[in-house]
A = this chain, B = another copy of it.
Amino acid sequence: MRHATFACLAAFPLFAVGPAMAQTPPPGTLEVPAKTLSAPGDVSPQLQKIIGAPLRTNWDKRPKTGEEWKPVADAGAAALIKNVPGMMERLKVKVEKTTIDGVRAFIVTPETIAPENANRQILHMRGGCYVLNPGEAALPEALLMAGFGHVRVISVDYRMPPEAYFPAALDDGITVYKALMKTTPAKNMAFIGTSAGGALVLEMGLKAKQLGLPMPGAIASGTPMSDVTKVGDTFQTNAMVDNVLVSPDGFCDAGAIVYANGHDMKDPLISPVYGDMNGFPPTILTSGTRDLLLSNTVRVHRKLRQAGIDAALQVYEGMAHAHYLRDDTAPETKEVFEEIALFFDKHLGK
């Protein structure tokens, strides 16, 4: 009877779950004990350092008005902008500040534009919870796209609280898109953005449909704030695991609420996962296994696939929210943007 020890295992094969345990909490809930995570060893040293960093300081501070956010955003931008000159040098890109039909923007031009990209432009919407990263602080993702993709990028420095509220960011993006269409066919353009920017590029797709504008040739949406109503299972499972956003009740939620300014948070123009994505162009989505918004990335991917859209998903080992924007020297950063560049090249007109 040496097998008796394991006999009770037998009644519950791999692909069936056992009956409720004694003393279980309410049906459907699961008690997960405290744990200590190590930074994963199967990523680059640069990414390991980023993943292994402690939780973002003051992740639970929640400014409640545009006026309260402004000094936070300005000081944060001042810190972030210090990285920009080095990035420009390493990525071999130039930046020109401009205004396009009244909207502030940056034109980011790589030293070498790939021949196939000669007649293409990428429209970039920055991240930052709709309240952070004004001015040059918007640039890192645009620099990475231009540098690794060898393509011209127009980064929209859209209005934010307290200057303007919903739907100002979206309107500014559409204004620039319309202006660019005067010289570049829509099918030769792509939208790219991360976090709030990842949501905005989807919102712009929905808005373009409403306005009867042509769709861009492709969209790249990184870890999008696609659902600001806090629906999404990784809001639970990756809470206190994602060292950037940390919690669904943290600073980023507070930013979205201030931007919404009383508007319905479930409106697809601020929670685009609820939008009708029929007719969308090919779309590539990026996330990581520790991302608080992993669910809200994969939910958009499913939504697009259900609408028959050519949608690609890339999920990176160990990455929390937007870790791929942190270090242009990490090989994973290059991989993310080269994948996006390949996807654009496959789908954009020339």
Contact = CB atoms under 8 A, between A and B. Distances in A.
Copy total for this chain: 2
B301 A17 contact: no
A13 B80 contact: yes
A17 B51 CA distance: 10
Interface string A246-288: 0000011000000000000000000000000000000000000
A6 B72 contact: yes
Interface residues of A, number: 107
A99 interface: no
The 9 closest A-B pairs by CB, nearest first: A10-B75, A18-B57, A13-B76, A28-B52, A17-B53, A28-B39, A40-B233, A9-B58, A233-B318
A232 B11 CA distance: 29
A251 to B, nearest CB: 7
A289 B35 contact: no
Interface string A4-39: 011111111111111111001101111111111111
Interface string A201-219: 0000000000000000000
A240 interface: yes
Contacts of A28: 38-39, 48-49, 51-52
A195 interface: yes
Nearest to A78: B10
Contacts of A133: 13-15
A116 interface: no
